[in-house]
Amino acid sequence: MSLDINQYPRLLNVTQTAKIMGVSRDFVYKCLKKDDLPVKEIGGKRWILRDPLLRKLGSLPETTVG
């Protein structure tokens, strides 16, 4: 499956995250509860960070500063 990351915002909701991961929303909530996903809390809502998520899944190369 080819994933066009530009079709998703940098901050993802649970539904978008589940679609990218190919899992259920329930599974994403379980991962959030276990702190297994890269998140940013804004205004009391937790958003999943797209690029760190894709790196964690191995779908985006690690960035290097140089």
Q: What is the CATH number of the domain that holds 32?
A: 1.10.10
* Residue 44: C-alpha distances to residues 9, 22, 31, 41, 51 (Å): 19, 26, 18, 6, 21
Per-residue model confidence as pLDDT tens digits over 14-62: 999 999 999 999 999 999 999 999 999 999 999 999 999 999 998 777 6
- Looking at the 3D structure of the chain, how many domains does it have? 1
**Residue 49 counted as domain residue:** yes
pLDDT at residue 9 tops 70: yes
∠ Cα 46 62 52 (to 5°): 5
Q: What is the value of pTM for the model shown?
A: 0.82
Q: Is residue 15 part of a domain?
A: yes
Does residue 50 sit within a domain? Answer: yes
Decide if 48 is inside a domain. Answer: yes
Residue-range definition of the domain harbouring residue 35: 7-57
